[in-house]
Structure 1
Amino acid sequence: MSTEGHNSRDPRSNGLFGIYVHWPFCAAKCPYCDFNSHVHRGPFDEVAYVEAYAQELAWFARQTPGRTVQSIFFGGGTPSLMQPRSVETIINEIGKHWTIDPRAEITLEANPTSVEADRFRGYRAAGVNRVSLGVQSLREKPLAELGRRHTVDEAVAAVRLAQSIFDRTSFDLIYARPHQTLEDWQDELTEALWLAQGHLSLYQLTIEMGTRYYDMFNAGKLQMPNEDLSADFYELTQELANSAGLPAYEISNHARPGQESRHNLIYWRYGEYVGVGPGAHGRLLINNQRHATATEKMPFDWQKRVASRGHGMVTDDVLTWEEEGDELLVMGLRLREGIDPRRFSMLSGRAISEKQIDELKAIGFVETLPNGFIRVTDKGWPVLDAVVADLAA
């Protein structure tokens, strides 16, 4: 990777730039989770570990001078296991190397246990202005089945506490779970919509390779909803959230206008982002080329790599124009606003096939907006992967 950066005049840039900070540690591994998360037992020097983040941030900053940071996102793993002073240190390090926009969104993912909620005021003092809570269910039995370590009462209390401390909050729920009925979900989601303020993330349960649920499913011990029932769950979700004033702006994310996750919009709008910490991914424009970066996944191997090299990066691929175009489609068509076909042409060096667009319009899966953007319709969203594949062909 060259050490020469770019500025917002780079023709391949849309001016969006964020920092993703991955904290890999969890108190327990949930059976559905395929994220890079690790349960660590025994002594742990958090101050020394955070120093590795400072070193890696400095290294990436040398590759990306002149950027303005619009968003910082602490994800995991479980960042709310970090001490507030660690979060403050990392934010300060980012501010040493880049300009942080005064309106920057600084989000921290948190579990709603009472222990972690006790740290919320410390995170706010450290500079965090948005919290995303991994509630996952408002029912006790599913919480236990999902491996969550909090109760429903703790979750509700944590959401309300977060709303009293932070300007913006969100929480996640998982639906289309084993044994869940549409009536169950209607009741649960109605409660969640009363509890939510500006933002809610609603994910259909998916079975991911490498998880305990994957093994159970393959052994016939986990009964998932069929395709028709899954579609019914999705339609009910859209209907209830729309009625509550939280329409979907992305396939699984709902917000009141102006409350959208700015960090995730950087991904979906195909901006630039630095990924630091174990297993973090990034997309960076260097000398008019887009680099796909990834760091070492194992937490302490990453730390050793940073100590010896200044960074933990194990992947640094320069994307072809075709790969950039494909990524723009995959990310951008998740959004209600759709994608600008002119930007696709500029990145990929080719136009989207008008024949493909017309065929998808004829079956009601895509539409062209007055501004010229192409977006997937409500009818097309449940088969988004197929729509993207058609347009990329």
Structure 2
Amino acid sequence: MDSLRQQSLIPSFLYSSSSSAKTFSLSNLHSEQPSLSPPQSSTVTMGSKSSGGFVIPAPSEPGKKIEMYSPAFYAACTAGGILSCGLTHMTVTPLDLVKCNMQIDPAKYKSTSSGFGVLLREQGVRGFFRGWVPTLLGYSAQGACKFGFYEFFKKYYSDLAGPEFAAKYKTLIYLAGSASAEVIADIALCPFEAVKVRVQTQPGFARGLSDGLPKFVKAEGALGLYKGLVPLWGRQIPYTMMKFASFETIVEMIYKYSIPKPKDQCSKSLQLGVSFAGGYVAGVFCAIVSHPADNLVSFLNNSKGATVGDAVKKLGLWGLFTRGLPLRIVMIGTLTGAQWGIYDAFKVFVGLPTTGGPAPAAAPAVAAAELTKV
């Protein structure tokens, strides 16, 4: 009964996938194929000829199964977060560079197209990738904490709420879990973000992270690397809350209203396509919600001694909400869609289910709640 109680703490909708086959029971196999003798090795062979049969890995076979919510599970989610955030942010460095310069110097960088033209004339093609190293390292560290801790806090808050309330208030759990994870993730990101913005918006300041970090610390001290932490939290926490909660909700709606069969009957390629589509739409919402704070982060990291009041005075309230927004919508939408696609592809690669899925029916949720009372 204790095992039933533990298993019921996490509602089934948090991970609903065909990958449930990884817990395939050998006793079921024997009941369906009574002629088979008990397996003597780590695999069971189906069919009359062992040389040509279909091989099912036993649960004990290394590398073929990761237990949900085990240390290996969180390690895999952390690795997936590194890949999804680090690689995607590095890829869109040119877009990010133009966006930052539009925010800092709107008189010179009047639009997206003219911004690319100015950079090409003044710095050449290589100029489009200034700051790629702090971008790669910073967002890899952020992605590790963001996705790894999100999975941890999502389960932790579900355990606290219990199965009935976890199913009823699942969106609140997504919001709380993502916000908690992002607080930690931004502490890892902030120093890299400070150097990145300075390198990208002040030509001649430094070539990259290796010489930019010492120059920054010499000019403003080690604590200066965290000068933009509060605005970064202001940008990233609403962004991440929107990113995860809207993604989970959108994916649930896609499976519920747009796909005529259950998720566990969908191919992996279709499930990954749903992850990308849900991520892209979520990214558009993220960009709109977090854009004013993004303008503040760029302004504060570019100017020594600058304040939020200085930013509002120079950009204006309208500019704070709209300066660089169209470009950021394209960038963040593509970025977020790619991140969820890469993250879930990595999870599938290591044998884990994709993120999100249809919510359970009311009856199973109530039944699970009753089990915990036994």
Q: Report TM bin, short chain.
A: under 0.3
Task: Tell which has more relative contact order, 1 or 2 (C-alpha 8 A, sep 6+).
Answer: 2
Q: Which has the higher helix share?
A: 2
TM-score, length of structure 1 as denominator length? 0.21
| Pair member with larger Rg | 2
Q: Which has the higher strand share?
A: 1
